[in-house]
Amino acid sequence: MKQINTFGNAAVAALPAHLLRYVVDQNYERYTWIDQAVWRYVMRQNYNYLKEIAYYPYIRGLHQAGLSIERIPDLQTINDHLGKIGWGAVTVDGFIPPSAFMEYQAHRVLVIAADIRRLEHIEYTPAPDIIHESAGHAPIIAEPEYHAYLSYFGSIGAKAMFSAKDFELYESIREVSILKESEDKEALKAAEEKLQYISENMGEPSEMALLSRLHWWTVEYGLIGTLEDPKIYGAGLLSSIGESKSCMRPEVKKLPYTIDAINYAYDITKPQPQLFVTPHFNRLLEVLEEFASTMAFRRGGAESLKKAVDCGQVCTVSLDSGVEISGKFISYSGDVDFIKTEGPTALAYGGRQLPGHDKTLHKEGYSSPIGEYFIQKGSLSVGEDVLLQYASGYTVEGRVTETLFQEGRLIVATLMECTVRTPTAEICYRPEWGRFDLVLGIKVISVYSGAADKSAYETDVYLSEQSTKKEEYSSKLHEIYGGIRQIREGGWDISPLKDYFAILQNEFPEDWLASLEILELWPDPAVEAHLNQLKERFPEYRQVIEDGLRLHYEHSSYRSK
């Protein structure tokens, strides 16, 4: 089992083993002074703007989550603060599979991408980063109704059925998000074209795909209040200094939040054309419940089992007897009279794997009739020869060698010399195949994604082969940012700023953020003029430079003439 630093946080310490495999070290020392400047710029902009437009607990939530404007937060501080409300945090490498993300949420652990966006993408990046995860998600978690929604959503999402197409989409999104933060423009273009093709050819959306839409339009891009005067609470908006402003424009439609939100797909690479407004957080729970009532884990039966077969992934079928069968389901008959898996299959009860019934015992697959039956001969006692006749027409005949009870009820009977016949008398299990583990249960009451006992079954979780890459900045530019930081925080002599500015002009003509930080400490007209020139030379930086200058003027007695 992988060992991680739990930071003295109960929620992190309680994470199951299979989720620990996604955790990476934060490695705080790898954040550069440029990274720290990016964090500071975004947080200053957010603090200044979002205090007016964000849902009211945002600024208070920053402090409750242990976040400051000046420095990228460290995990220990975040966990110390979130622990007070029963939450924790871990760092991961970029996007993780949606099902795993949901599980973390269910365990009340915030997943934070360890990386931070590049300066070139300071307004917005589709890649998850520490700004989005901590400054976006963490502040609002302190709101009781909201963090109850988050954890409940996670518990629902962890059971959602997903398809092979969903997994393909996840890999493609992860690839685009990684390349967005690199300088490989050719590879990025190819990856975006691939993502577009996959997105347009998904077919019928799975439960996970639909649930992801609800997550996107609430947790990531949600608005709260009235259609006429909404406030931001979604982390994607809270962490995007560009879209947090543009989203309030009239051309971005504001729609009432209802179950209809599942009909709106989203594109992570573009601003959203519409947003959904909830009147209160309880409405989020109402819509989630409405959708959950349609899901396989609530409905059971043949309709749900078909979703498991179509899924092509490991799922769990729960019977009314409490037995849980986890494997890749490939077929069933009638109104679920007979079920069959291929590959490793395990049996569980109450979320715990049954002794002796792990996936190595049933490594080639598993099958069993289910439903009402009567005993034609013998009994289901150890040492007895028995013949069972099912109402569906299936028969099971053999010698009982083991029985397994739970809460006084027989749930599994192991037979040797066993023959199983279909309603048309075809043999579907032969004596020479060895032991036959018959599960007792009349009907399928639930079907959900993943194994019943994930820590026992999922000893190997899927980890993408694509890793995020940390781009290197010039060491000289890094030193300049570090020097500016030391002067600002230490109250040092500002005379080196003139030399820094000269180097920036001559060697780093595209860098605007260092000049903006110099202007904050040394309000020389030449620095302001340089920034205004950069706005004209590089239109893509116009808005961030203007926003920075505006904030500077608001916090300084200096005014440009």
Q: Looking at the structure, do residues 161 and 69 belong to the same domain, yes or no?
A: yes
Q: In CATH, what number is assigned to the domain containing residue 179?
A: 1.10.800.10
Q: Looking at the structure, do residues 429 and 515 belong to the same domain, yes or no?
A: no
Q: Looking at the structure, do residues 267 and 303 belong to the same domain, yes or no?
A: no
Q: Looking at the structure, do residues 337 and 211 belong to the same domain, yes or no?
A: no
Reference 344, options 366, 324, 316, 323; nearest CA is: 366
What total number of domains does the chain contain?
A: 3
36 in Cβ contact with 71 (< 8 Å): yes
Structure token pair of residue 343: 């590959």
Q: Sort 532 into a burial class: Cβ within 10 Å, 0-12 / 13-18 / 19+.
A: middle
Q: Looking at the structure, do residues 391 and 523 belong to the same domain, yes or no?
A: no
Q: Give residue 1's pLDDT.
A: 59
Which residues define the annotated binding site for Fe cation? 132, 137, 220
Q: How many CB atoms lie within 10 A of CB 399?
A: 16
Main-chain dihedrals φ then ψ at residue 409, nearest 5 degrees: -120, 135
Start-end of H helices in 158-206: 164-180, 185-200
Q: Looking at the structure, do residues 192 and 132 belong to the same domain, yes or no?
A: yes
Q: Looking at the structure, do residues 491 and 374 belong to the same domain, yes or no?
A: no
Residues near 193 by beta carbon (within 8 Å), at least 6 away in sequence: none
Q: Looking at the structure, do residues 37 and 112 belong to the same domain, yes or no?
A: yes
pTM: 0.85
Residues near 533 by beta carbon (within 8 Å), at least 6 away in sequence: none
Which of 245, 261, 289 is the last residue in one of the domains?
289
Q: Give residue 460's pLDDT.
A: 58
Structure token pair of residue 270: 């573009």
Which residues define the annotated binding site? 132, 137, 220
At position 375, the amino acid (one-letter code) is I
Q: Looking at the structure, do residues 449 and 487 belong to the same domain, yes or no?
A: no
Domain containing residue 484: 475-554
Report if residue 2 sits inside a domain.
no
Q: How many CB atoms lie within 10 A of CB 559?
A: 7
Angle (CA) 85-86-92 rounded to 5° is 110
Q: Looking at the structure, do residues 84 and 206 belong to the same domain, yes or no?
A: yes
Report if residue 1 sits inside a domain.
no
Residues near 499 by beta carbon (within 8 Å), at least 6 away in sequence: none
Reference 454, options 11, 10, 2, 19; nearest CA is: 19
Report if residue 490 sits inside a domain.
yes
pLDDT by residue for the chain (561 residues), tens digit each? 578 999 999 999 999 988 998 999 999 999 999 999 999 999 998 888 887 788 867 778 888 889 999 999 999 999 999 999 999 999 998 888 888 889 999 999 999 999 898 888 888 776 778 998 888 888 888 888 998 999 999 999 999 988 777 777 777 877 777 777 666 778 888 887 888 887 777 777 889 989 999 999 999 999 999 999 999 999 888 888 778 888 989 999 999 999 999 999 988 778 899 999 999 999 999 999 999 999 999 999 999 999 999 888 899 999 999 999 999 999 887 789 999 999 999 999 999 999 999 999 999 999 999 999 999 999 999 999 999 999 999 999 999 999 999 999 999 999 999 999 999 999 999 999 999 999 999 999 999 999 999 888 876 555 555 555 556 667 899 999 999 999 999 877 899 999 999 999 999 999 999 999 999 999 999 999 999 999 999 999 999 999 999 988 887 643 443
